[in-house]
Amino acid sequence: MLGPSLPLRVTACSYFRLECAHEQLFHSEYKRSNRTKGLKILRCFPHCCPEHIDRSYCGSSLSVRVQLAERPAGTAPHEPPPSEVLAVFARFEAVNDVSLRPGECVEVDKIQQGVQTESNLDGQWIAGVLDRPSGLV
């Protein structure tokens, strides 16, 4: 008989860009552009891929690789599977912003209330989307 399923524990996270050969993913600084309805975007974020386009937005999407701790032998598989319970969010912040520290826990509901949408342009958070079920989650 298998032991109970243990809670998910994230051991590492990293950003990457699928099908990208650039050596450097991020730049040290970015230019900000103003859009309609007061929306601001970072130009060329995280980098111009495949190349820079003048007078246009040429940034690219990001993916996040989340590595979970291995389950000890004899423990039950996670139920529900991690891809159904793991939530990934991101936000831009100033280097000197200390409102959220690494390792700090925040309620998912609180973050979801602050997700940027068409009806909430002032939202600070961007919700991640699972591209496809994989060994990454």
- Measured between alpha carbons, how far is residue 39 from residues 32, 35, 83, 120, 121 in Å? 10, 5, 31, 10, 7
Residue-level pLDDT at 135: 55
Residue-level pLDDT at 73: 80
Give the residue ranges of the chain where pLDDT is below 70: 1-6, 37-38, 56, 132-137
Angle at 7 between CA 3 and CA 12, to 5 degrees: 125
Tokens of 69: 């701790």
Residue-level pLDDT at 58: 78
Residue-level pLDDT at 125: 94
- Measured between alpha carbons, how far is residue 117 from residues 60, 95, 120, 125 in Å? 19, 24, 5, 9
The Cα 43–Cα 99 span in angstroms is: 25
Residue-level pLDDT at 137: 43
Domain locations along the chain: 8-70+78-86, 87-130
Cβ atoms of 109 and 58 closer than 8 Å: no
The Cα 5–Cα 49 span in angstroms is: 41
Residue-level pLDDT at 82: 76
Residue-level pLDDT at 34: 76
Burial class (CB in 10 A: 0-12, 13-18, 19+), 111: middle
The Cα 114–Cα 92 span in angstroms is: 13
Residue-level pLDDT at 89: 92
Measuring CA to CA, which residue among 108, 110, 61 is closest to residue 87? 108
